[in-house]
């Protein structure tokens, strides 16, 4: 079977592009530490239950030197806690759920960007190397107060 030179060229180019895209994905995962927010289990849906378990006490706690865990409970139209303070260089794992409807959790200037769903617990981590104020906000339309739903991670 003869393959035309042009066809061979395009086949080669397609293979090259696949390899380049795979390399880009590989680099983002292993080189830059970007990962997809994972489902960390299910939380009982709706207000009363989403306030149970770890979500009974939202807030920041140090789990190991330089490592923090933040339990975040979202509801229309606020986050609890809405101010998170950690020292620079901290690895922070956010464990997030919603008490009512679908919200978003996007921390500006970081790779943290996830949906927050009632009945689901989302876990996502980030290392805050640079001190500063990182605003987080809701990016899933959730009602009339959607635009005021925000908070901040303050890295000291």
Site for ligand CUA in 45-84 (CB under 6 A): 77
Contact 34, 111 (CB under 8 A): yes
What φ, ψ does residue 15 adopt, rounded to 5°? Answer: -65, -40
CB of 117 to ligand CUA, least distance (A): 11
- Among 71, 112, 138, 152, interactor with ligand CUA by CB under 6 A: 138
d(Cα 17, Cα 21) in Å, to the nearest integer? 6
CB of 139 to ligand CUA, least distance (A): 7
- Among 72, 107, 149, 153, interactor with ligand CUA by CB under 6 A: 149
d(Cα 90, Cα 94) in Å, to the nearest integer? 12
CB of 90 to ligand CUA, least distance (A): 25
CB of 142 to ligand CUA, least distance (A): 3
Stretch (H or E) spanning 147: none
Residue closer to ligand CUA, measured from CB, 68 or 75? 75
Going by C-beta distance under 8 Å and a sequence separation of 6 or more, which residues neighbour residue 119?
A: 42, 43, 44, 45, 46, 50, 97
**Secondary structure (3-state) at 130:** coil
- Among 99, 103, 124, 153, interactor with ligand CUA by CB under 6 A: 103
By the criterion CB under 6 A, which residues form the site for ligand CUA? Answer: 77, 103, 138, 140-142, 146, 149
């Amino acid at each position: 079977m003869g393959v035309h030179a042009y066809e061979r060229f395009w086949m080669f180019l397609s293979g090259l592009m696949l390899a380049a895209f795979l390399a880009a994905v590989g680099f983002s995962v292993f080189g830059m530490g970007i990962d997809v927010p994972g489902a960390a289990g299910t939380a009982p849906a709706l207000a009363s239950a989403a306030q149970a378990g770890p979500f009974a006490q939202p807030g920041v706690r140090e789990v190991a030197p330089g490592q923090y865990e933040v339990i975040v409970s979202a509801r229309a139209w606020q986050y609890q806690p809405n101010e998170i303070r950690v020292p620079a260089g901290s690895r922070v794992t956010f464990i997030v759920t919603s008490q009512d409807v679908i919200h978003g959790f996007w921390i500006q200037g970081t790779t943290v960007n996830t949906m927050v769903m009632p009945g689901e617990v989302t876990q996502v981590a980030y290392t805050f190397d640079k001190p500063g104020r990182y605003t987080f906000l809701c990016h899933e339309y959730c009602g009339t107060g959607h635009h005021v739903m925000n908070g901040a991670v303050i890295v000291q």
